[in-house]
Amino acid sequence: MGIMKLKNKLRVLIIISTIFFVIVGGSLTNYINHGKNLQVEEVLFQENMEETLRKLNNELKDLETIVIDWAEWDAMYNLLDQFDQEFINENFVDDVYELFNIDYVILANDEDEVLYSGYYNGETITEVSENRMLEFLLFQGESGMLKSDEGPMMFISKPLNNSESSNIPKGSLTFVRKMDESYQKQLQYDLNVEFEVYFDEKTIVATQESEHGIVASLAHLEGQYSTMRIEVPFLNSEDGMIMDFQLENRVQNLAHEYNVINVTMITVIILLIGVVLDLSLKYAIVDRVVDLNKQIKKIKFLENTSERIEYDGEDEIAELSGSINEMLEQIESMHEKVLLYANFDEMTGTHSRKKGFMMLQEDFSSASSGALTLSLVYIDMDNLKTINDMYGHAMGDSLIADAAMLMKNVIPKNSYIIRVGGDEFLMVLREKNYQEAQLIVQSLKKQIIDFNDVSQKVYKVSLSSGIASYSDEKHLKELIEKADSEMYALKNERK
């Protein structure tokens, strides 16, 4: 039996080593990054879940706002004492039902006598059936979801009041919106994610933070897809409405591509090292390979992809070092993209809610210690829903992007903008007091006027804003709510 030559031994060793390091390197890389990827994935999904909850709650809030506006109308209040059929005929028409996207309207007095009932089927308005009317009257003054044979319904009922504070509320005005199949499809489009709706005989326990009893949870973060579940309680049933959303694990999928590149890098390194060793066993070559391997191990041990291989010459080892540096640059670039995706809003370029509020909490702590003058401007876009309904959500997204651009034009260099969610933004002004914040808002308004004057788009940018400067607030939430309250007060004055 012949003796295996050293060159062949080396080749066998290289083959065995290649297989070993590919498996071990891939497993080690996956192990190191798996926990981090799950954390980033969970942060992104948490923001997605909060945004979905916010939109669902806003659906109920919007309907509730409409009912309150009508219930506080003096003419509606007077109907309880002196019924006016002409007023009913003029105001409860097809266009009103379609404008506010409502299906049922009930107007009743304190004795549960129904003065008006209407059901709009998309073509005509008819009286509400007796059984349906009795069901609605059981929940006068309440807000939430109802279970029915027509599917889930958004139910808002408010007592009537007028502008004279001496008059006590009486009667009730009820608006109901069906969540039928067409409405669910529209909601899926608005949320940009598909979901499945079904009912489960279980008691949904709402937390203190949940609005309208709606709660949400994340499950199955592993694999290609994750599940987000939203549970909505019914006013008239022990059942709960379950909405299951399937979300793509984008960070983990991106990380999988990263792992493939990393394993490929290890494979290429070892194979190229084997080729060099096979061509020459001179000490100078072996020493350079050993040096190269040390640098690779250092980068791997420190997990610092900003490190680069130092090399000289123009031979195969130099080319190998250059290829490794190129792959390190690709890995570093991909890592930066992942961080950018997590820290910034893709549509507007403003800070994401998670990252922005982390920065804001630090600034609030500095303001609390007296080291920083801090002012907030809470901004809400006007008429976004109208633009979405009339021209589609692509045009609505364009409106949001233009508004963010105008905000970035006036924001000082040491300050920043947070997209709170949907059409709401928060301008964080460092080293600016209330009067200086007002000047910035005035500058933003001028920017908007100039933009609208020259813009040929179908919409006009219009914003409502509220300013709050730190004084002695104990918690950041108080300062934000202060700006938010001023914004809504000014918005209501403009109506």
- DSSP line for 137-193: HTTTT-EEEE--TT--EEEEEEEE--S-TTSPPEEEEEEEEE--HHHHHHHHHHHTS
pTM metric for this prediction: 0.43
Residue-wise DSSP of 228-297: EEEEEEBSS-S-EEEEEEEEE-HHHHHHHHHHHHHHHHHHHHHHHHHHHHHH---HHHHHHHHHHHHHHH
Q: Is 353-494 the same fold as 72-183?
A: no
**Residue 371, CA distances (Å) to 28, 440, 441 in order:** 45, 22, 24
Quote the CA–CA distance of 434 and 360 in Å, as a whole number: 17
The per-residue pLDDT string of the chain (495 residues; one tens digit each, 9 = 90 and over) reads 444 553 566 567 767 766 776 676 666 666 665 556 566 656 666 776 777 777 777 888 888 899 888 888 888 888 888 888 898 889 999 999 999 999 999 999 988 899 999 999 989 999 999 999 999 999 988 888 888 888 888 899 999 988 775 568 888 999 999 887 777 777 767 666 665 665 554 554 544 445 666 766 666 556 666 777 778 888 888 777 777 776 666 655 565 666 667 667 767 776 677 666 666 555 556 666 667 677 777 777 766 767 777 767 667 777 777 777 777 677 666 655 665 566 788 899 999 999 999 999 999 999 999 999 999 999 999 989 999 999 999 999 999 999 999 999 999 999 999 999 889 999 999 999 999 999 999 999 999 999 999 999 999 999 999 999 999 899 999 999 999 999 999 888 876
Count other Cβ atoms within 10 Å, centred on residue 59: 18
How is residue 438 written in tokens? 């007002």
d(CA 361, CA 195): 34
CATH architecture, domain 72-183: 2-Layer Sandwich (3.30)
Return the amino acid letter for 291.
Answer: D
- How far apart are alpha carbons 296 and 289 in whole angstroms? 11
Tell me whether residue 21 is exposed, middle or buried, using C-beta atoms within 10 angstroms of its C-beta: 0 to 12, 13 to 18, 19 or more: middle
Instruction: Please list the residues that pair with 466 across neighbouring strands.
Output: 378
Strand partners, 106: 117, 174
By 3-state DSSP, what share of the chain in percent is helix, strand and coil, each rounded to 5? Answer: 55, 20, 25
CA 484, distance to chain mean position in Å, is 19
Domain locations in the chain as residue ranges? 6-36+252-342, 72-183, 353-494
Fold of 353-494: Alpha-Beta Plaits (3.30.70)
pLDDT at 1: 44
Tokens of 126: 């008819």
Joined together, the tokens standing for residue 110 give 């304190």
